[in-house]
Chains A and B, each alone.
Chain A
Amino acid sequence: MAAAEALEEKQADATQAPRARSPRRYTDLCGRHRLQARVQLLSREIGFLEEELQSVEGLQPVSVCCKEVDKYVGTTPDPLIPTYKKRHKSCCFSRWLRAMVCFNATCFTGGCSSWQNRPCCTRRPNGSCSSSGGYPSRSCCSVSCSRLRCVIPRLSCPGYSCGCVCSCSNCTKVRLCPTCLCCISHCVCE
């Protein structure tokens, strides 16, 4: 009898629907940490923005910066710009060398190896010319301009030429070697 009752209970248990367990909570650790990191980043960003808002209060207006730009650009010479302001006479002329630059056949054929050792002509006080480097002086004496100087060659007037610049008080234009292959040995006043 007892065994039968036990069996009945067992069967009753068996027929009872199994209790559904609540689903196991999947802990999305990666996503949570990422979210936390993003919140931290945003908190820092808020701090930086609040600091910036405070600093903007005392800032100068844009016009002050524009004035600084305008001033800076106007005072710096630029080799790529067609116009430049003449420097004060006493400063400019005193620096210029009274030298003539020879047309250097070696340079023309590309034999120049050094910017520093180009031969130069000089005009003597009596108006005659002398030259160094064994080059004929007659090309020096074709200069009609009283103020000439050798300049360091640039890509607009590269090593194959002497990079002559000529200017005199009558000239309003300074002429560079137009084809980068020859020197201008006289002033071009236009």
Chain B
Amino acid sequence: MSVAELKERHIAATATVNSLRERLKQRRQLLLDTDVAAFAKSQGRSAISFNSTDLICCRTLQGHTGKVYSLDWTPERNRIVSASQDGRLIVWNALTSQKTHAIKLQCPWVMTCAFAPNGQSVACGGLDSACSIFNLNSQVDRDGNIPVSRILTGHKGYVYSCQYVPDQETRLITSSGDQTCVLWDVTTGQRISVFGGEFPSGHTADVLSVSINSSNSNMFVSGSCDMTARLWDTRIASRAVGTYHGHQGDVNTVKFFPDGQRFGTGSDDSTCRLYDMRTGHQLQVYSQQHEGDDNDVPIVTSIAFSISGRLLFAGYSSGDCYVWDTLMAEVVLNLGTSQNSHEARISCLGLSSDGSALCTGSWDKNLKIWAFGGHRKVI
């Protein structure tokens, strides 16, 4: 086939894709009979009411000398690992604020970190395009550093996000600037599957976040600079199970809803959204009016759901950390204006495994732990 014929085919195929997408959008619009907030209001629900002292900052973890980029809790024992611009991982005891480990990284440009399910290892990745694994029980070297126990190489771009598969110490998923996600065998260092890339249907831009379904660890969702979130089945790398449109900017963060049937997203377009995994429906948009011009609209950097799903915590580039009532789509608290709040962008946040505490990380070099410190009303 000649180049001219190929070009004609390309133009025709592009037009067909656009037309089909438009038809799909219209069909979905017909099914959009309500959203979560309208439904909840019709059921007589009212927004959660917080006093200003209900969620308090009960710990400030100080020690990083650079911006905090990423954090992760252990599944148990209340420890946190954080990654920073200072080129270090720090492992904290969240209850005592003590640092149990400080790992100086060979490549200081780290962007993500994660705790293994057994709490014995941590993983990190960044601009070196690799994911490094450290065993916290290893003997330190002559300089007092924990040596790297495995390096997972294969990505052709920076590693922006990583997460261990729940209850599987040997499986890890990374997302990368090379537009792919990879499932790794940590023991052998081999890639088990590559999701996306040139031929299989995948993201068409950098992949910034992953979230694995804790109810079904074969499923994970990814968020990308191509403004979509995609659902993957780890057993089928050849194509995404679903593609979720709606955002008007990079999807920086994705997180599964606690029931494992829905997931939330946060984007450069300053909104968070809730999608139904199975149907692909967009169930709710969480959006706040911002003062100032369009250039100052804060981006959503990170999200987490409370254990019941009733609260959606969203960190923003402005330093705000909105607590959304997910049912009513209202902001019920702003941790960014609370006492002892962060002084710069919230870059990451995460909930402890028992749901009793939220940890936020910021460009102000600190991490903060927030917990309920008020009166509980029994109804």
Q: Is the CB of B375 within 8 A of A82?
A: yes
Within 8 A of B (CB), among A115-158: 154-156, 158
Can you name the residue of chain A whose Cβ is closest to the Cβ of B262? A69
Q: Is the CB of A37 within 8 A of B49?
A: no
Chain B nearest CB from A81 CB (Å) reads 6
A28 contact set on B, CB distance < 8 A:
3
Chain B nearest CB from A6 CB (Å) reads 47
Q: Is the CB of B201 within 8 A of A45?
A: yes
Chain B nearest CB from A123 CB (Å) reads 22
B17, B49, B357, B379: the one contacting A155 at CB < 8 Å is B357
Task: Let me know if B27 is at the binding interface, CB within 8 A.
Answer: yes
B23 contact set on A, CB distance < 8 A:
53
B235 contact set on A, CB distance < 8 A:
none
Q: Is the CB of B355 within 8 A of A86?
A: no
B306 contact set on A, CB distance < 8 A:
78, 80-81
Q: Is the CB of B378 within 8 A of A84?
A: yes
A174 to B378 Cα, complex, angstroms? 7
Q: Is the CB of A53 within 8 A of B27?
A: yes
- Contact string against B for A residues 39-70, beta-carbon threshold 8 Å, 1 for contact and 0 otherwise: 11111111011101100110111110111111
A67, A84, A110: the one contacting B379 at CB < 8 Å is A84
A60, A155, A172: the one contacting B78 at CB < 8 Å is A155
The count of chain B contact residues (Cβ–Cβ below 8 Å) is 79
Contact of A79 with B354 at beta-carbon distance under 8 Å, contacts A31-B3, A42-B17 already known: yes
Can you name the residue of chain A whose Cβ is closest to the Cβ of B3? A32
Chain A nearest CB from B350 CB (Å) reads 13
Within 8 A of A (CB), among B278-298: 279-281, 283
B54 contact set on A, CB distance < 8 A:
82
Q: Is the CB of A174 within 8 A of B35?
A: no
By a beta-carbon cutoff of 8 Å, the part of chain B in contact with chain A is: 1, 3, 6-7, 9-10, 13-14, 16-17, 20-21, 23-24, 27-28, 31-36, 38-40, 43, 45, 48-51, 54-56, 58-59, 78, 94-96, 198-199, 201, 239, 257-259, 261-262, 274, 276, 279-281, 283, 306-311, 326-327, 352, 354-358, 369, 371-379
By a beta-carbon cutoff of 8 Å, the part of chain A in contact with chain B is: 28, 31-32, 35-46, 48-50, 52-53, 56-57, 59-63, 65-70, 72-73, 76-86, 110, 154-156, 158-159, 167, 171-176, 178, 180
